[in-house]
A = this chain, B = another copy of it.
Amino acid sequence: MNVATTSPRRKELVRIAARLFVEEGYDRTTVRMLAQEMGIKSGSLFHHFADKQEILCAVIEEGMFSALAIAHEHLANLDNSLAADTPRAQAHLRLLALARAHLDTLLTDRNAHVVALYEWRRIEGPAREHLVQQRDEYEALWRSAIEDGVATGLLRGDASLLRQFVLGALNWSVRWYRADGERSPDELAEALIDSVCHPQ
């Protein structure tokens, strides 16, 4: 009932909800479907969440949180391994790390981050605030990386537009990417970053 509660049981429920929301869409996922998949009856769901929208909130929060966490993780790896390089090369590697992290949560971990991107509109009221904050934090990572890219001549054009384009291309990949295809999410990330970076 408490939004902040993060019992292991709740974590599990959120994971299941995320999957269903991706498969069916939030609107078409009924509380009964959620309960069934969780092995309980629909009435019991409301012991864990105040209402259906709170489930969505929890999923989106989880999605944003893990996107942020994984992005930080990828960036941290970078700092450790290859610190000595040109600013331009560094900017390139950061972009690559962010793109890989993004597709990692989106296409590999799947679900929660996808919901965070695609069902955003359904959230209203005060719950939105918190989510907006998280999103801004995540975008700040990208903003800084892209600006560095522009500053070092790696990228050309308006930094703000570039961010929207790159994120858009990445986000949309959910729609067409098949896990059983010939390319890995990492290869996608590389291809995209390559296509917008100017060599030398």
Interface residues, chain A, with chain B CB atoms under 8 Å away: 25, 27-28, 121, 155-158, 161-162, 164-173, 175-176, 183, 188, 191-192, 194-196, 198
Pairwise interchain contact A194-B156, C-beta atoms closer than 8 A = yes
CB atoms of A121 and B172 under 8 A apart: no
Indicate if the CB atoms of A155 and B25 lie closer than 8 Å: no
Given contacts A157-B195, A166-B169, A169-B172, 7 further A-B contacts (CB under 8 A): A156-B194, A157-B194, A161-B192, A164-B173, A168-B171, A168-B172, A198-B198
What's the nearest-Cβ distance from chain B to residue A60, in Å? Answer: 15
Give CA–CA (A171, B173) in the complex, Å.
Answer: 11
Give A184 to B121 CA distance when docked, in angstroms: 24
Contacting pair A165 B28 (CB below 8 A)? no
Name the one of B27, B169, B175 contacting A165, with C-beta atoms under 8 angstroms: B169
The residues of B that contact A176 with a CB separation of less than 8 Å are 164, 168
Give Cα distance in the complex from A170 to B172, angstroms. 10
Whole-angstrom distance from the CB of A39 to the nearest CB of chain B?
17
**Assuming A28-B27, A196-B196, is B162 touching A173 (CB within 8 A)?**
no
Q: How far is the CA of A168 from the CA of B172 in the complex (A)?
A: 5
Tell me how far the C-beta of A172 lies from the nearest C-beta in chain B, rounded to whole angstroms. 3
User: Chain B nearest CB: distance from A109 CB in Å?
Assistant: 20
